[in-house]
Amino acid sequence: MSAKKKTNDSMEKIVSLCKRRGYVFPSSEIYGGLNSCWDYGPLGAELKRNLKTLWWNAMTNRRNDIEGLDAAILMHPEVWHTSGHVTEFVDPMVDCKKCKARFRADQLEEARCPEKPSKSPLENNCDLTEVRNFNLMFKTFMGPVEDSSNTIFLRPETAQGIYVNFLNVKNSSRQKIPFGIAQIGKAFRNEITPGNFIFRTREFEQMEMQFFVPPTEDEKWFEYWKQQRWEFYKELGINESKLRWHEHDKDNLAHYAKAAYDIEYEYPFGWQELEGVHNRTDFDLTRHM
């Protein structure tokens, strides 16, 4: 049996088990479901709540230097223009001219051709379009008039809610730098190729903390938080052989990042990101302040 077939069989068993035991159901299943959308059942809802409580306790309740926040999903559209997301929050995309399937241009080796699932688009010599950028933000309208002046976005990350509230939290909590702000909340990304069950979806929850430090101490604190986050997963009892660090290539860093590392986990479908630890410098604060 091929490795790909074993992975597919494993994922099918996991998906079936999760539905049968009440962890995760396909969303809108009685209407045929909706691609990459999932509902959490009785046990799934409890599991999510326990995970969020565990993270929140570790990040805020057990520390004196991190405050909590719950920012709105809908924000002034200028937030996303100022942060650079409107122009920079994109993935490279290509289409197959024959079957019309869409793929991320930087993940063609991992993708599978719908006409020949055993092969990637490259192996199948698919006739692909030129690469073009695809913005990942969902748009909607606020108010009764649907025109450009009323366009707003579903937030693609929770971090911007933290940055625009930096002074509010600092002043009201009387914190001094260095200190952090943490929040848990929904985010939305119009992914080109979602998949692998609940691993990559268009609607998801983030648990995120931004830690603010003096400019000359950013690298010291970056290393500190890398170590703290690794220890968090060790304390959960996760086998370290299933964890590894992945450093983002300098040429592929997000528009706001000076350095970025992911803690990756060996899932049934391979090594993928479990958590990111990024040095965003003062990019966001200087944009908004």
pLDDT tens profile 242-281 = 999 999 998 878 777 889 999 999 998 889 999 999 999 9
Beta bridge partners of 278: 260
Sorted by where each begins, the domain ranges of the chain are 3-89+137-288, 90-135
Report whether 79 contacts 67 (CB < 8 A): no
Summarised one tens digit per residue, pLDDT across range 109-162 is 777 777 777 677 777 778 788 787 778 889 999 999 888 889 999 999 999 999
Q: 35 pLDDT exceeds 60?
A: yes
Q: 3 pLDDT exceeds 70?
A: no
Q: 1 pLDDT exceeds 70?
A: no
Binned at pLDDT 50, 70 and 90, residue 6 comes out as: low
d(CA 119, CA 122): 8
If one compares 202 and 130, the residue with the highest pLDDT of the two is 202
Task: Give the residue carrying structure tokens 């604190």.
Answer: 221
Architecture of the domain whose range is 3-89+137-288:
2-Layer Sandwich (3.30)
Summarised one tens digit per residue, pLDDT across range 49-106 is 999 999 999 999 999 999 999 999 999 999 999 998 888 877 777 878 878 777 777 7
Q: 174 pLDDT exceeds 90?
A: yes
Instruction: Count CA atoms closer than 13 A to 273's CA, side-chain side.
Output: 10
d(CA 198, CA 51): 15
If one compares 228 and 190, the residue with the highest pLDDT of the two is 228
Binned at pLDDT 50, 70 and 90, residue 219 comes out as: very high
3-state secondary structure (DSSP) of residue 87: helix
Average pLDDT over residues 173-201: 91
What the block records as the tokens of 111 is 């993708």
